Amino acid sequence: MIKYIVEGGRPLFGEIHISGAKNAAVAIIPAALMVTGPCRIENVPQISDVTILLGVLQDLGASVRYLNPHTVEVDCTKLRNGRVPYESARQCRASYYMLGALLGRFGAADVALPGGCNFGGTRPIDQHLKGFKALGAQVDTQGGFVMAEAAGGRVKGTSIFLDKVSVGATINIMMAAALAEGMTVIENAAKEPHVVDLANFLNSMGANIMGAGTDVIKVRGVDSLRGGTYSIIPDQIEAGTYMAAVAACGGSVKLCNIIPKHMDCITAKLTEMGVEVQEVDDSLLVSRIGPLVRTNIKTMPYPGFPTDMQPQVAAALCLARGTSVITDNVWNSRFRYIDEFKRMGAQIQVDGNLAIIEGVERLTGAQLEACDLRAGAAMLIAALAAHGISEITNVQYIERGYEDVIGKLRSIGGSIRAVEVPEEEPLAVSSAG
């Protein structure tokens, strides 16, 4: 176990290469279960969630080998139609995507529900289960497992209207439907870039999915998927996190290998806050020279402002002139990080899904404990912007979703290092994300 030591108060200058998208990778790796033949996935981020999911595939009988640090070849041809045990599922929430993938490929799935912390509220999967049932599967949840089984060994195409826009339900249903008999229509579907990336991945392996990126997705089921090569999109949230770091610390950083269109919802808010963002081909030059200005933020499904950027931008807003209001419309209680910010001198009040932030002149370094992935990233940003030294523990959360965060921050002038935590300081482990 390690902790990060951060000496804050320095502006950031330089260039960062953005990695492949975590939320796309954690959907595409389970989707590889559905493919017969070798499936080569490029631009795979080196993060612990990826390592865990590839391990789950191996346990199910897949062959997995890295061709280079960011390209992995997965062959699920000889897969046993298996059970994903709790020991595997609990380590990464996205292991529930094995449900849709196994149900599509074998007409049956038996997957433990992921446990762990969940932004301080519940993370229901009723819409996933509703979708599987509509596809003709009998679904039982018993002993912490979801068991789904389609009559006749194959799910059947149908129409599904999601009661709530859900990334996870859209992805799980799309996977099962890709190998269903007949046509499935998913209405009120999520439009996030990683939903589109998964559809593109499946199509490149022979699926027939139309409309991903709109709120109606049509999936014409095919009999099988064949191997191929696919490159994962750049990580919108990783790029946004470094943008928020520049906002909080000041300086000028070029973010390379991004899709500028995916960044619009974040760029718009940061611009309101006094950050300058220039688009050049597949990179953004992000600079903040003048003072930070207050703004209000309401999180929404894509193309709205992403809830996964709310904590990081809140870190910058702690230092903005005036009062900002953040409303999280996606998760009810995603403000557990705020008590840590308060110990750094931030002035914040939380009321339900609202956080009211009164900007202060400076934050001061403190001992901080990450409580989930994006909260951990937000604490890192606050620590980089604060005067003095901060220590961040529970950084395993941060490393679940950010490749080489220390190397990248150091390359732009951040003073951060990892040190071993002596064994007598126990650290919590959980699987939110």
> Residues 117, 122, 127, 129: what is their CA dihedral angle, to the nearest 10 degrees?
60
402 lies in the binding site for ligand UD1 (CB under 6 A):
no
Applying CB under 6 A, among 98, 99, 125, 135 the residue interacting with ligand UD1 is 125
Give yes or no for residue 168 binding ligand UD1 (CB under 6 A): yes
Tokens for 383, please give them. 């620590």
Measured from the CB atom, is 190 or 315 closer to ligand UD1? 190
Give the one residue of 26, 135, 155, 368 binding ligand UD1; rule: CB under 6 A.
26
CB of 26 to ligand UD1, least distance (A): 5
Angle between helices 22-31 and 236-249 (to 10 degrees): 170
Instruction: Record the tokens describing residue 185, joined without a space.
Output: 């229509």
Supply the DSSP symbol for 221.
-
CB of 326 to ligand UD1, least distance (A): 14
Residue numbers annotated as active site: 117
Q: Does 124 bind ligand UD1 (CB under 6 A)?
A: yes
Kindly state the smallest distance separating residue 233's Cβ from ligand UD1, in Å: 13
Q: How far is the CB of 215 from ligand UD1 (least distance, A)?
A: 13
Q: Is 166 in the site for ligand UD1 (CB under 6 A)?
A: yes
DSSP state letters, 386-419: SBSEEEEE-THHHHTT-TTHHHHHHHTT-EEEEE
Site map 88..117 versus ligand UD1, x via CB under 6 A: ------x-----------------------
Query: CB under 8 Å to 46, separation ≥6 — which residues?
Result: 19, 69, 70, 403, 404
Quick one: which segment of 29-37, 167-175, 225-233, 418-426 binds ligand UD1 (CB under 6 A)? 167-175
Q: Build a one-symbol-per-residue string for 322-361: x at contacts with ligand UD1 by CB under 6 A, - elsewhere.
A: --------xx------------------------------
CA atoms of 152 and 189, how far apart (whole Å): 27
Phi-psi region of 240 (alpha: psi -120 to 50; beta: other; left: phi over 0): alpha
By the rule CB under 6 A, 161 interacts with ligand UD1: no
Among 6, 11, 23, 225, binds ligand UD1 (CB under 6 A): 23
SS3 23: helix
CA-wise closest residue to 156 among 103, 99, 199: 103
Q: Is there a contact between 256 and 213 (Cβ–Cβ < 8 Å)? A: no
Residue 206 in the binding site for ligand UD1 (CB under 6 A) = no
- Choose the binding region for ligand UD1 from 37-45, 160-168, 391-399, 408-416 (rule: CB under 6 A): 160-168
Alpha carbon distance, N-terminus to C-terminus of the chain = 20
The residue ranges that bind ligand UD1 (CB under 6 A) are 23, 26, 94, 123-128, 164, 166-169, 190, 307-308, 330-331, 433
